Structure 1
C-alpha cells in the first residue's frame, strides 16, 4: 500500500493505516527487519517511521531486538489466536458439511509466518480417522493445506518461506528439495487443488484447496486412510472442497 493510496481512501485515518503497514512489512520479512528495510518498503520519511514505531513499541505490537532490528511484538500473539479461533468457529459449519458428505476428517488452516497453523477441524465418524489438534503448527511443504497455500504464492516467496522453515522429510514421499516442491506447486496451480499423498504420514492421503482471496492465505482439506481416500474419492471431494472454499471466501469478505 502506498502513501497516496492511504491518502485517497475515504474516511481512513492515515496514521493507523501506516502503523498497520509497518506491522505487515515486518510480518512479510519473516517477523523481523531493519529500520532501513521498513523505510524502503513503506516509502515513508524516517521521522514518520520513528514516530509510528515508538507508539507500536509502547503498545507491545512491535519490539526491538538487541541487534536493533524490529520484530513483531508479543501482544500480537493473543490477537492472532483470537482471530484464528473466530475464523475457525465461523467456518466450522462448512467443515461439518464436508464430513457429512464425504465421511472423512475436514480441516482448515492458515499461513502463520513460515508455517501453517490449524484453526478448525471436524473429525470423521469412522473409528479409524485422522486427528490434528487445533492450534498445531506444521510445515508447508509436506501438508495438503500447506501446499495449497504455497501454490497461491509466487516461487520467490515460496523459496523464502521454505528456506527459513527447512524441509524435513517425515516420510520417504515427502518433498526434500526445493525443485521437486516447485514442480509440484506448478501442477497444483494448473489443476486447482493439492494432494498430500503420504507426505505427512504413511497410509494417509489428503485433498486440499485454498480459500480464494482470503485476507490471510488459508486452505481447507479432507483427509483419511488410503483405503478410503482414493482417486475416486478425490473426484467427489474436490468439487465439494472448491464450493466450500468459495462460500468461506464470501463469508470472510
Structure 2
C-alpha cells in the first residue's frame, strides 16, 4: 500500500480499491477475501464492499465460489489510450514480417512512469519460441529494451527516467559503465547484449524514433540460435532485419529513421 501520511488530499476508498487491483495484478493465482485482507493488513469486512464494486464493474472476477482474480478490463483500458493503440496497430504488421524473415520472436516495449512495459509481442513462426508476455514489466538497467529507451532519450528525459525508475527483482543497481554503454548504443543505433535473465539468449534491440530522434519505443528480438535449421538467419542477419523493421516502423509513424552500422 502507499504511504499516505504526508498526503494533503486523501481518498481512502480509492486507495483501498487501487490496493486490491495492484495486489491481484502482482499475484499469479486467485485469492480469497480473507487472503486479500491479510495481505493488505485490513479486515475482511473492510474490503467486502470494495471487492463487490470491483466485481460489478468487471475489474475483478469472482471464481471458484469465493476466490477473486483480476480481469482483462484494465488491459483493455490501457489499449484504448490512443498513442499506445496507434503504435501497437502500426507495429504488429512490421513485427509479423520481422518474425517471418528472421524466424525469431520479437516484442515492443515503451517507457511508462518508471516502468518499461511490453505492449506488443510476436512469436516466431515455428512451433517453439522465446517470448515475453504483453503487459510484462522489464528492467530499465538489465534489458536491451531499457538500454535503448535510455540511450535515445534526451539528457533531461534520462534523468527523469532514472529518478522514477521502478526497481525490478533482478536489478543490481546502476551499472558502473552505463553512461559509456548508452553513448555507444546511440552512436551505432542498436543494442546487442547477452540476456541477463536467460542463458543462450541475446537481446537485439533497436529504437522506434520520434521526430526529435528520441525513442517512442524499443523493438527487441530475444535471439536464439537455430541449431535445427542451419540456413536460418544468424544473429548478424537477424540484426539487419531488425534494423530494417525499425526504419520501416519509424517511417510509418512519420518519424525519423535509424541510422546504424552493424554489430
Once residues 118 and 202 of structure 2 are traced to their aligned partners in structure 1, the CA distance between those partners, rounded to angstroms, is: 17
In structure 2, the residue corresponding to 1:146 is in which secondary structure? helix
Whether the 8 Å contact between 1:206 and 1:221 is mirrored in structure 2 is yes
* TM-score, scaled relative to structure 2: 0.57
Structure 1 partner of 2:245: 244
Shift of 1:90: 2.5
Shift of 1:195: 2.1
Match of 2:177 among 175, 180, 184: 180
More helix by share: 1
Once residues 215 and 238 of structure 2 are traced to their aligned partners in structure 1, the CA distance between those partners, rounded to angstroms, is: 24
In structure 1, the residue corresponding to 2:176 is in which secondary structure? helix
Alignment gaps of 5+ in structure 1: 1-64
Once the two structures are superposed, residues 179-208 of structure 1 have per-residue CA deviations (whole angstroms, 9 ceiling, x without a partner) of 322221111112110124122333321101
Once residues 235 and 207 of structure 1 are traced to their aligned partners in structure 2, the CA distance between those partners, rounded to angstroms, is: 10
In structure 2, the residue corresponding to 1:108 is in which secondary structure? strand
Find out whether 1:66 has 2:7 as its counterpart: yes
Whether the 8 Å contact between 1:169 and 1:176 is mirrored in structure 2 is no
Shift of 1:161: 1.9
Structure 2 partner of 1:211: 208
Alignment gaps of 5+ in structure 2: 1-5, 11-17, 19-73, 228-232, 255-263
Structure 1 partner of 2:161: 161
Shift of 1:101: 1.0
Number of aligned pairs? 178
In structure 2, the residue corresponding to 1:161 is in which secondary structure? helix
Whether the 8 Å contact between 2:201 and 2:224 is mirrored in structure 1 is yes
Structure 1 partner of 2:110: 110
Once residues 224 and 247 of structure 2 are traced to their aligned partners in structure 1, the CA distance between those partners, rounded to angstroms, is: 26
Once residues 200 and 85 of structure 1 are traced to their aligned partners in structure 2, the CA distance between those partners, rounded to angstroms, is: 29
* TM-score, scaled relative to structure 1: 0.59
Once residues 221 and 161 of structure 2 are traced to their aligned partners in structure 1, the CA distance between those partners, rounded to angstroms, is: 24
Whether the 8 Å contact between 1:220 and 1:245 is mirrored in structure 2 is yes
Structure 1 partner of 2:195: 198
Structure 1 partner of 2:71: none
Once the two structures are superposed, residues 156-182 of structure 1 have per-residue CA deviations (whole angstroms, 9 ceiling, x without a partner) of 533442343255573xxx763243222
CA change 1:197–1:138 in 2 (3 A) is same
In structure 1, the residue corresponding to 2:8 is in which secondary structure? coil
In structure 2, the residue corresponding to 1:165 is in which secondary structure? coil
In structure 2, the residue corresponding to 1:211 is in which secondary structure? strand
Once residues 145 and 248 of structure 2 are traced to their aligned partners in structure 1, the CA distance between those partners, rounded to angstroms, is: 17
In structure 2, the residue corresponding to 1:189 is in which secondary structure? helix
Once residues 207 and 215 of structure 2 are traced to their aligned partners in structure 1, the CA distance between those partners, rounded to angstroms, is: 11
Once residues 192 and 146 of structure 1 are traced to their aligned partners in structure 2, the CA distance between those partners, rounded to angstroms, is: 14
Structure 1 partner of 2:97: 97
Whether the 8 Å contact between 1:85 and 1:119 is mirrored in structure 2 is no
Once residues 167 and 179 of structure 2 are traced to their aligned partners in structure 1, the CA distance between those partners, rounded to angstroms, is: 13
Structure 1 partner of 2:257: none
Structure 1 partner of 2:145: 145
Structure 1 partner of 2:236: 235
